[in-house]
Structure 1
Amino acid sequence: MDLRIQRSVVSNLRTRPQAIDTGPFVAGFDPETDSPYINYATPVPGVPITAADITALVTAFAGAGRKPRLEYVTSCSPELEGLLLGAGFTVEERNQYLICSPSTLNAPPVPTGLELVEPETDRDRAAIVSAQNEAFGEFPDDPSEAAVARMRRSQERGGVVLGARSADGVWAGGGQSSPPNDGLSEVAGIAVREQFRRRGLGGAISAGVTRRLFEGGAEFAWLEASGDDSWRVYERVGFVPSGYRLYISQG
């Protein structure tokens, strides 16, 4: 599974507006945002890596005006961390990812008074982005056009986006997935605004996105938990622990 996950990350990075191959790495850049969580690189599994390759990668980030940063499944490039640390990189996080299959998915009911909706207009996409931003503590009232466009492009390529909406039209939260690749898709951005928490909505959104992926033919969904509470939510809907991923950056 580690190898399949890493290959899918490589393939998805290559769909970024400005994707480049530099030695054993693929770097995906988006000119509309300097967020390090969107602009990053990952190694191609099975390709040898040298210190000179790290230098060339840092140069590529400098040319794009972005902070050098990588995300990858550790078992697929076990020698890479040492090379990056030697080049002045610092570990941000080391997370265990979880996977779900159709046989393990356990979809809870959507809380009363709420519905899960796939956005069809940019206005609805903007509302979902605002709800996610508020839940994550980021600029709730000003969803960027770039963020809305990224969501739209992901849907056009087969990614799933779901928003949770109350009966009176208030958007309570949302979540999404990357477009499936090699039968895999990452579930991410699961967020619930404060006043709608503790009702099981996060689990319902997670399961709803995952179920739609499986209905579209995906074999596995994967994600990472940001803390113990979200870990328990994901395990309840059928995600089980699997391999490890590293987040590491320079500067």
Structure 2
Amino acid sequence: MDVRVQRSVIANLSLRPKAIEVGPFVIGWDPTTDSRFINYATPQLDAVVTTADVTALVAAFRDIGRVPRLEYVASCAPDLEQQLIDAGFSVEARHDYLVCFPDSLSAPATPDGFEFAEPATDEQRASAVTVQNEAFGADPVATLADVARVRRMQDNGGVVMLVRSNDGVCVATGQATAPRAGVSEVAGIAVGKAFRRRGVAGALTAAITGQLFTTGVDLAWLEASGKESWRVYERVGYVPTGKRLYIAHD
């Protein structure tokens, strides 16, 4: 399972507008944003990493004006963490990832007063980004680059879904990466503060996951950073499976 998820991470980064291969690493670089959660690297599977490789990776990040940072499934590069720490990196977080299969998905009913839809216009995409940014503490204003990023995800085969209240206002959103080898990552599940604890997050996660399964995906995965979100995901059929490491050189 770890290998399939790590392969998915590599594929996702390779779809960035300016993916860069640096020795045994791939950097996903998007020149339109300096977000450390979009611009980061991951090791290739079965990579043999040397001190020189780590030095070259840091230099490559400096060349593009981004913070040297990696995300990866820990078991797929068991010795890499210490190499990075020796080079001045610090661990940001260790997150569990959870997986869901078609026969384990439990989709709840859509909560009353809400409807789910895929954004079809740039205005709708912008509203989805605004909800996401507010939920994650970023600048709530959606830029043209943000909207283009959402559109590009859809064009590449990913899933983007928004939740609207009865008056047509976007109150929640989430997405999933373009499937690769039957695997997709569900991410960015965000619900506006005034609409939380109504079952929206779980129903949205299940709706996105269910749509993936209709396209032939047989493994959906996501990360839970806290117990509250963990419970939401487990209720719709996700189970904890492995560990991912976030590590950066600030």
Same fold (TM over 0.5): yes
Is 1:62 matched up with 2:56?
Answer: no
Task: State the aligned residue count.
Answer: 250
The 3-state SS of whatever aligns with 2:19 is strand
Partner of 1:10: 10
Where does 1:135-154 land on structure 2 (aligned, <5 Å)? 135-140=135-140, 142-154=141-153
Q: Deviations over 1:119-142 (max 9, x none)?
A: 1111100011111222223222x1
For 1:87, give the aligned amino acid: A
Where does 1:191-210 land on structure 2 (aligned, <5 Å)? 191-210=190-209
Where does 1:1-251 land on structure 2 (aligned, <5 Å)? 1-140=1-140, 142-251=141-250
CA RMSD after TM alignment: 0.8
Gaps of 5+ in 2: none
Sequence identity percentage: 58
- Alpha-carbon offset, residue 110 of structure 1: 1.1
**Structure 2: distance between partners of 1:139 and 1:67:** 19
Contact 1:135 1:173 in 2 (8 A): no
Report the TM-score, using the length of structure 1 for normalisation.
0.98
The 3-state SS of whatever aligns with 2:34 is coil
The 3-state SS of whatever aligns with 1:164 is strand
**Structure 1: distance between partners of 2:138 and 2:209:** 25
Report the TM-score, using the length of structure 2 for normalisation.
0.98
Gaps of 5+ in 1: none
The 3-state SS of whatever aligns with 1:66 is coil
The 3-state SS of whatever aligns with 2:46 is coil
For 2:200, give the aligned amino acid: L
The 3-state SS of whatever aligns with 1:70 is strand
**Structure 2: distance between partners of 1:110 and 1:137:** 27
Contact 2:190 2:201 in 1 (8 A): yes
The 3-state SS of whatever aligns with 2:142 is coil
